[in-house]
Amino acid sequence: MRFSIMLCFTLSLMLIGCKEKPDPDKDKKHVDFRPTGGSTTLAGKMRDRALDARLMDEMRQVKLGLDADMVGVPANKAAWLAFLRDFRTLRGMLEKDELIAFSSVRLGDSRTVMMYEKRIMTDPDAIVLTADGIPHRMTKPQFDMLMKPPM
Q: Is residue 132 part of a domain?
A: yes
Give the integer Cα–Cα distance in Å for 109 and 149.
12
The pLDDT score that the predictor gives to residue 25 is 47
Q: Is residue 90 part of a domain?
A: yes
Residue 125: exposed, middle, or buried by beta-carbon count in 10 A (0-12, 13-18, 19+)?
middle
Q: Is residue 47 part of a domain?
A: yes
Give the integer Cα–Cα distance in Å for 44 and 46.
5
At 118, phi and psi to the nearest 5? -65, -25
Q: Per-residue pLDDT averaged across 74-79, rounded?
A: 92
Q: Is residue 82 part of a domain?
A: yes
Range of the domain at 134: 41-145
Q: Is residue 141 part of a domain?
A: yes
Q: What domain count does the chain have?
A: 1
Cβ-Cβ contacts under 8 Å for 53 (sequence gap 6 or more): none
Give the integer Cα–Cα distance in Å for 126 and 138.
6
Q: Is residue 7 part of a domain?
A: no
* pLDDT tens-place string over residues 16-45: 655 555 544 444 444 556 777 777 888 888
Indicate whether this model's pTM tops 0.95: no
Q: Is residue 26 part of a domain?
A: no
Query: Which residues in the chain belong to E strands, given as ranges?
Result: 99-101, 113-117, 125-130, 135-139
* pLDDT tens-place string over residues 90-113: 999 999 999 999 998 888 889 999
Is residue 115 within 8 A of residue 133, CB to CB? The reply is: no
Q: Is residue 66 part of a domain?
A: yes
